[in-house]
Structure 1
Amino acid sequence: MTLTARDVATSVFGAYRLARLDPAGLQFIDRTPEGALKSFYAAVLVLPAYALLLAIRLADQGIEAPLMQVVLVEGIAYVVNWTAFPLALHRVAALLDRSGRWSGAVAANNWAAVVQMGAYLPAVVLSKIGLLPAGLGSALVFGVMLAMMAYQWFVLRTALEVNGPTAAGLVMLDLFLSALIGDFADNLL
């Protein structure tokens, strides 16, 4: 299972096309079971930005846990977060009679995370460095979060070929799992 730079570029381009609400973006993403497995390399691409966001969040919360504890707890939470939704989606896809589209949905959703982070990180940094008034910075971050959820909705609706409310439910499931995992990890610090 080799992943080349070309594979990554093609997959991220497909995710970018999906962000432009172009369903043809799926054609650029390997939607086979092997492609779904390879798509978890997106977690490696997103990791540096996630680490920066985590540092910002922990500083804002005033958490002063030992560095090794933070790395261990948040590292495990990161892996669990990247795997929880695909596992839940596997079961939901079976219930929706969409098992054959599961690997494509996982691959598209994982590569979409790279595009999402490309929008979210700058919004958070702009909000935190003080170039924008506090209210405007918060509104920017909130708006980007809403756009990210709408984007994920489109990706899941397109990749699974489900209706809008079903895709919205899946986005809410992912949000719930992420919040649950994040809160559990934060309580360990």
Structure 2
Amino acid sequence: MVVEKYLLLSTYNLGIAFSVDNIFSTQGIIVMLLVAYGFSMWAFLTNAPKVYTVMVSDIKIAQKFYEGLLKLSAADIPLHYYYTPEENLGTLATADPLYMSMNYTSMSGLNPNRTYGLWYQLKKNTQLHIISGASYGHNNRQRHICFDNRCLETILLKVQAKRLRYKVRCKQPLNFLVKDIDERIIEMLEIKN
């Protein structure tokens, strides 16, 4: 008996909540707009590409490696990367000095006075963002540093597919050496957080 009264009351309350007057009221329209906004943000974020960032010692040498040897195609910058970190923060005074000290190379199609790094398509919905700022390794060896194991595993698979000379030094964290076009040894290194 109590359950039947509760079900009738619940049905009555749902009927009131979804009545035509309530749906087209100011509050109803605001709720519908918020639901639509939430859905559109969900759709945008689920379709946004995964971005891996690799910090390199020399961006010109890295460009020869990723374009010349691995044959990665250039990628468009994702929407959420159009602004530099200092613009995202709102003022230059509060920007992190780590970002301000990096020397990116200019990309075509964007403001030539701005610097963005290099962007490559790694997989279908995965991009590779190359920035400078890594220190040189032993004997001034080129060093490419990444914080994500999956990124370096994907690069290693590309190296293996191109039949380049490489040597895995350590699997956890992943560390391998590979030779570039000019027979330079590049150290690919995963950094653990």
Q: Which has the higher contact order (CA 8 A, sep 6+)?
A: 1
Q: What's the TM-score, normalizing by structure 1?
A: 0.27
Q: Could you say which structure has the higher strand fraction?
A: 2
Q: Could you say which structure has the higher helix fraction?
A: 1
